[in-house]
Amino acid sequence: MREAAAEGKAAVQAWCQREGVPFMSSGGRLDATFATWAELSGEIEPLLTLAGRINDLVIVDRPDPGVPFTGRALDTALFSVGRPTLMVGHAVPYDLLDHVMIAWNGSQEATRLIGQSITLLHEATRVTVLQARTERFEEAPTADLCAYLRWHGIVAEAATLDIEGGTSVGEAILAEAERRHASMLAMGAYTHSRVREFLLGGVTRHVIEHARIPVLLAH
């Protein structure tokens, strides 16, 4: 654990040096960009819960059975913290907010994500609202969400995704994100029960296991 912490801190310091970002600064001006470092010891669930609740965004690795705590960290961030969670993999686009694609289904989880991420979406160069054509397609038109976003000064493009036979919704969403060169996918997590997704498979589970781009999630 000490070795992992030292490696992490060294990586952050190296990045700050490359990008000209002050490290361990007290901040001063609220519009300044700077980085700080803190280390907390203990069980991942209570530590991440308490730390995450006093921050705007929680960033975790994609779960990897070979890397300790990654699965527990994502579960805690989604189910206990109450803040948006950004899941990243091995590759992160240079411009994370170049093209944000929102997978919209009108669920409470997706609604919560949009409400908590408005400030982040403001910084996106391009926003696409994607809705898969499922049995509940007519219940939450993408045009309504685009209109809501426009009231917040965010111009979004609406798109419909047809699901071909034999293709799962999660698989189709990831393929469309890749086709549209999305830099980040945003979606509500586990709109069905987690047990059901574990037993039968589901959109969230497929995206978590197979996404090649960062995914912004909220439950």
pLDDT band at 199 (very low <50, low <70, confident <90, very high): very low
Q: Identify whether residues 84 and 33 lie together within a single domain.
A: no
Q: Take residue 207 and report the two structure tokens written for it.
A: 């995206």
In whole angstroms, how far apart are CA 8 and each of 15, 16, 30, 38, 42? 11, 12, 25, 11, 17
Q: Identify whether residues 109 and 16 lie together within a single domain.
A: no
Per-residue pLDDT of 124-159, as tens digits, reads: 999 999 999 877 767 778 999 999 999 999 999 999
Per-residue pLDDT of 179-194, as tens digits, reads: 999 999 999 998 766 5
Domain range holding 172? 42-219
Per-residue pLDDT of 79-119, as tens digits, reads: 999 999 999 988 888 899 999 999 999 999 999 999 999 99
Domain count, the chain: 2
Greater pLDDT, 72 or 194:
72
Q: Identify whether residues 30 and 96 lie together within a single domain.
A: no
Give the pLDDT confidence score for residue 194 in this predicted structure: 56
pTM above 0.85, yes or no: yes
Greater pLDDT, 195 or 48:
48
Q: Which residues contact 69 (CB under 8 A, 6 or more apart)?
A: 44
Q: Identify whether residues 101 and 189 lie together within a single domain.
A: yes
CATH assignment at residue 188: 3.40.50.12370
* Strand ranges (E), the chain: 58-61, 85-88, 99-103, 126-132, 156-161, 184-188, 215-218
Q: Take residue 181 and report the two structure tokens written for it.
A: 């060169």
User: What is the helix (H) or strand (E) element at residue 48, kind and residue range?
Assistant: helix 44-52
Q: Identify whether residues 85 and 134 lie together within a single domain.
A: yes
Q: Identify whether residues 29 and 132 lie together within a single domain.
A: no
- Dist CA 174 CA 72 (whole Å): 24
Per-residue pLDDT of 19-32, as tens digits, reads: 999 998 766 777 88
In whole angstroms, how far apart are CA 176 and each of 38, 65, 159? 38, 27, 10
Q: Is the backbone of residue 105 left (phi > 0), alpha (psi -120 to 50) or beta?
A: alpha
Q: Identify whether residues 21 and 67 lie together within a single domain.
A: no
Q: Identify whether residues 29 and 48 lie together within a single domain.
A: no
Q: Identify whether residues 25 and 110 lie together within a single domain.
A: no
Q: Which residues contact 163 (CB under 8 A, 6 or more apart)?
A: 132, 133, 134, 169, 172
Q: Identify whether residues 184 and 86 lie together within a single domain.
A: yes
Q: Identify whether residues 118 and 91 lie together within a single domain.
A: yes
Q: Identify whether residues 140 and 196 lie together within a single domain.
A: yes
